[in-house]
Amino acid sequence: MRALTMMLALMLIGVSATARGQTAADSAAIRAAALDYIEGWYAGNAERMERALHPDLAKRMIYSDRESGASRLHDMTAKELVSGTRSGGGSQTPTEEQRAEVTILDIYGNAASVKVVAKDWVDYLHVGKFDDRWVIINVLWELTPEAKQRQG
């Protein structure tokens, strides 16, 4: 009986430790970071974009090299993304065509995975809690088939 009580106590400690990153406030802050990122892009609002990103962000897309057909990575830094946003970002996208669907896929402790569906691409964000603030650390993104077709 004592062993069973000890095992249950350890399980409860484990549950409370894993649940700590899954509060309603954390979920709201993660969603806010994702919305600052995508809505900031559409609005050309560099301040919102910068607020959403960790300074060491890595944003990457896998693409096929047109000459060799080999897979390559296209990289962007936080600085490049903020600069691109400041230069207008997605502000040329008509409001009725803008998409900003945010889905939190998972939260564990200080880490979260989030999916953002935009007009022409899908982003998978890794979001981390730094100094009690949720920020985007990594983005892996893919163009939609329609956007790929427009690019030729």
Q: Give how many domains the chain has, as a whole number.
A: 1
In a domain, 14, yes or no: no
CATH at 47? 3.10.450.50
**Interatomic CA distance for residues 27 and 2, integer angstroms:** 38
Segment 87-145, tens digit of pLDDT: 999 999 999 999 999 999 999 999 999 999 999 999 999 999 999 999 999 999 999 99
Q: Which domain holds residue 41?
A: 24-151
Tokens 């603030």 appear where? 133
- Residues forming a β-bridge with 142: 122
Task: Tell me if 136 sits within 8 A of 126, measured CB to CB.
Answer: yes
**Interatomic CA distance for residues 81 and 109, integer angstroms:** 27
